Each structure stands twice: as C-alpha cells, then as structure tokens.
Amino acid sequence: MRNILLNRITAYALVGLLMIIGESPVFAADTKQEKIVVLALGDSLTAGFGVDTEENFPSRLQVKIDHAGLAYKVVNAGVSGDTTAGGLRRINWLMKHKPQIVILALGANDGLRGLSTDEMRSNLETMIRISQEHGARVLLAGMKALPNYGEDYILKFESVYPELAKKYDLAYLPFLLEGVAGVREYTRPDGLHPTGSGYKIIADLVWQHLQPMLKKE
C-alpha cells in the first residue's frame, strides 16, 4: 500500500513538473519575427550631426515604419565626414546586418572637397553592386555640388546619380536636401547641416521613395 502511494505521489510530482516546464518561457519556442533591415549608409547628413538621435532622418523613418505597422528596422550607418571611398571601405562589414534595402546617401563630402567625380562614380557603383549581390535593393539619394569648383565640375558631379540610377534600375531620390538646403530656418549656422525641423522635411521626402519599397509581412 505504501509503495502504491509513493508511486502515485511521484507520478503527480512528475506531471506537475512537466506542466511547469511546459509553461516556462525558457523552453517556449521563440515566435518573435526578426525585423527586416533598412540600412541607411551615409555621412553626417545621415548620422544627424548637431541634432538629437531621435531627430535624424533614419530615426524619423523608424517612427513612420512603426506607425505603419511594418516589420522593418532602420540601421543608421551614417559617419560624419565620410566620402564615397569611406562608404566603400565600410560596406562589406555593414552587410553583416543582412539589409534588404540600402539607402545610399553619399557624395556630399566628395563634392565639398572637389574629389574626382570618376572615382566617386566608381565608388558608388561598387557599393550598389555589393548591395545587390547581397540581395538588397538600393534607394539612391542624389546630391548637389557647391559652385566652388566651377560649372564643369557641377555637371559631372550631378550627372553621376541619375546615370547610376538608370543603369541599375534603382529607386531614386534626386536631391536628399530638397527644400532644406539654403533655407535658413532648416539649416544650422554652417549653412550645410539640417536642423531638427530640416530633418523632418528630409524624412518626409525619403519616406515618399522608401514606402513603396516596403511590404507588409
């Protein structure tokens, strides 16, 4: 009789233990869906020089994405002072994020420094090809050159973006700073970097081109 009772107690204990284990989150399957990465590859205009983190355009895009109920995560890969050569040096390492979309917004510092437009074109083209080889679609953001280096340089510089967009059939934003550049209330005292309100305009502009590339999962 005693053995029967012990066996029953042991059985009840095992059942109770199995119920606890079954309800434990430690053993539960992880059903949370990993978010798709949108990689914003750029310079200080992407990093958000001079503004709080939540004010830069990648952060504002994340808010728009969340409000739309989309399963995407924006990774800000902006580095202040970066050129297209710098972006090219970083892009293979950045592919660890496995982005499905790359917002390529580089070239402003090439233009400021009067760097070779042929090298800029080559750098951008290589970054586009690397992104596509990793399965990412590219949204190319164009830039404009300052008049410092003459009209010939401006024409060569600004032709790079639409030509690459056409060659690789990219989503294309002609000018990242459209409506912001040269407007005092939207730029910092240096006349180059956006204020928080300027970044709001940029985020709205980028969103117009990015949103059609996103899909509900």
In a domain, 172, yes or no: yes
pLDDT at residue number 216: 62
- Is residue 138 helix, strand or coil? strand
DSSP state at residue 182:
T
Q: How many domains does the structure of the chain reveal?
A: 1
pLDDT at residue number 32: 53
Catalytic residue flag (residue 193) = yes
pLDDT at residue number 141: 98
Residues of the chain where predicted confidence (pLDDT) is lower than 50: 1-31, 217
In a domain, 175, yes or no: yes
List, for residues 175-206, the tens digit of each pLDDT value. 999 999 999 999 999 888 999 999 999 999 99
Say if CB 139 and CB 72 are below 8 A apart.
Answer: no
Tokens at residue 24, please?
A: 């434990």
In a domain, 174, yes or no: yes
pLDDT at residue number 12: 38
Q: Which of 59, 110, 131, 193 is an active site residue?
A: 193
CA distance 61 to 81: 22
pLDDT at residue number 25: 35
In a domain, 189, yes or no: yes
pLDDT at residue number 190: 86
In a domain, 158, yes or no: yes
Q: Which of 44, 59, 110, 131 is an active site residue?
A: 44
CA distance 118 to 100: 28
List, for residues 84-108, the tens digit of each pLDDT value. 999 999 999 999 999 999 999 999 9
In a domain, 27, yes or no: no
Q: Which of 24, 30, 67, 190 is an active site residue?
A: 190
Catalytic residue flag (residue 209) = no
In a domain, 180, yes or no: yes
- Domain span including residue 97: 36-212
| CATH code, domain carrying 100 | 3.40.50.1110
In a domain, 114, yes or no: yes
